[in-house]
């Protein structure tokens, strides 16, 4: 016999008890407060910018529960994926073996809008280019996890995870008292440790800063929160100066050396000497300093080519090529428009007459 669909799953029992307890404490009213995010999260500034308006970040009171086995699978799968993409980035900005061996077409990479020749030959500290990654996951109709996309440039959103957890612990404290919920409040300390470990060779006590485009950026709340929780300076491009391939930060006590820049500024604006000359939110010369090994940019310049939507279709092959392993989690089923099979194209286009681009940044994709 099948499971009683009215009964909570084993992994959701603690949540069910917490909601029922809250309901008993609030007879005739909603089991839990309906708007913990409105004034509750707006007051400390937990907002995002949309259409020029600051809005409180929405919060779903019923958390999505993952059991330990699922979490272990996701942990191993994400680590596997990022490790392969790390090797891929080192390869395309270096020897290019992946082209010579016919795994990925060279044209696919060189025509990507996020492939930057300015990053060629840069050897980051410890060989790490992907210091922070954001891998988006979904479940398919059979309940299996699949990777929707990779974010290796400037992943954003972890501050909302932290604030979400804080709100839930205040709303349903019994849930966290009774269930063994993995914490997220150690994320800033772990991020700081990773950034300090990425400092240039020979720097024993590195100075880390968070580089923000400024208060008008949609994710400024996150920039400020992470800088505060890590105990590091939040700076803008005008606060940094680069000379002699060394980056310094202007302070009231004079200029102070900077060794690691956790940048929340896009590649195109990070350095007006190499990218957009009209940028006023970057630091002139910072890419040269990174090339000279005097400063670490986290994440590295040029990472965007690895989260290109067409490169995404090659990631399972990259895992097999670089790691000699099978992917632990599959991609969403995706078709390439350069496939000459009429049946495949008909399935992608649903038999309609369309004008389609074959640019590397815009493949056709359809989730199964």
pLDDT averaged over the chain? 85
Per-residue pLDDT tens over the stretch 76-127: 999 999 999 999 999 999 999 999 999 999 999 999 999 999 999 899 988 9
Q: d(Cα 39, Cα 26) in Å, to the nearest integer?
A: 21
**Rounded distance, CA 276 to CA 198, Å?**
27
281 contacts 213 by C-beta, under 8 angstroms: yes
Residues in the chain: 368
Look at residue 43 and tell me whether its pLDDT is greater than 60.
Answer: no
pTM here is: 0.85
Q: What is the pLDDT of residue 292?
A: 95
- Give the range among 13-17, 24-28, 115-119, 313-317 with minimum mean pLDDT: 24-28
Task: Tell me the CB-side half-sphere exposure of residue 160, using CA atoms within 13 A.
Answer: 16
Distance of alpha carbon 273 from alpha carbon 282, whole angstroms: 10
Phi/psi of residue 166, nearest 5 degrees: -60, -45
Whether the per-residue pLDDT at 2 is higher than 70: the answer is no
Decide if 300 contacts 267 (C-beta within 8 A). no
Structure tokens that stand for 273 in this block:
């000497």
């Amino acid at each position: 016999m099948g499971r009683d669909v009215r009964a909570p799953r084993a992994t959701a029992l603690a949540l069910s008890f917490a909601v029922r307890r809250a309901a008993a404490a609030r007879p005739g009213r909603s089991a839990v407060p309906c708007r913990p995010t409105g004034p509750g999260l707006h007051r400390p500034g937990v907002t995002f910018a949309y259409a020029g308006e600051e809005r409180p970040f929405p919060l779903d009171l019923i958390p999505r529960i993952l059991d330990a086995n699922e979490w272990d699978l996701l942990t191993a799968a994400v680590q596997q994926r990022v490790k392969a993409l790390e090797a891929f980035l080192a390869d395309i900005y270096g020897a290019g073996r992946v082209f010579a061996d016919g795994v990925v077409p060279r044209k696919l990479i060189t025509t990507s809008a996020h492939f930057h020749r300015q990053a060629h030959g840069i050897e980051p500290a410890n060989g790490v280019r992907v210091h922070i990654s954001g891998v988006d996951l979904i479940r398919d109709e059979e309940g299996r996890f699949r990777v929707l996309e990779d974010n290796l440039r400037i992943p954003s959103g972890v501050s909302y995870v932290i604030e979400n957890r804080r709100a839930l612990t205040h709303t349903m404290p019994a849930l966290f008292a009774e269930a063994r919920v993995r914490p997220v409040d150690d994320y800033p300390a772990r991020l700081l440790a990773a950034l300090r470990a990425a400092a240039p060779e020979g720097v024993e006590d590195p100075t880390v800063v968070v580089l923000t485009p400024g208060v008008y950026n949609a994710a400024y709340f996150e920039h400020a929160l992470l800088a505060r929780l890590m105990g590091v300076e939040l700076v803008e491009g005008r606060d940094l100066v680069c000379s002699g391939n060394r980056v310094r930060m202007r302070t009231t006590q004079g200029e102070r050396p900077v060794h690691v820049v956790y940048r929340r500024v896009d590649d195109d604006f990070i350095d007006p000497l190499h990218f957009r000359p009209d940028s006023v939110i970057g630091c002139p010369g910072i890419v040269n300093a990174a090339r000279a090994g005097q400063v670490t940019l986290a994440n590295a310049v040029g990472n965007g080519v690895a989260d290109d939507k067409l490169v995404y279709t090659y990631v399972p092959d990259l895992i097999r090529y670089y790691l000699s392993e099978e992917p632990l989690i599959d991609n969403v089923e995706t078709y390439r428009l350069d496939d000459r099979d009429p049946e495949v194209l008909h399935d992608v286009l649903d038999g309609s007459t369309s004008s389609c681009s074959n640019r590397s940044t815009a493949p056709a994709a359809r989730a199964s």
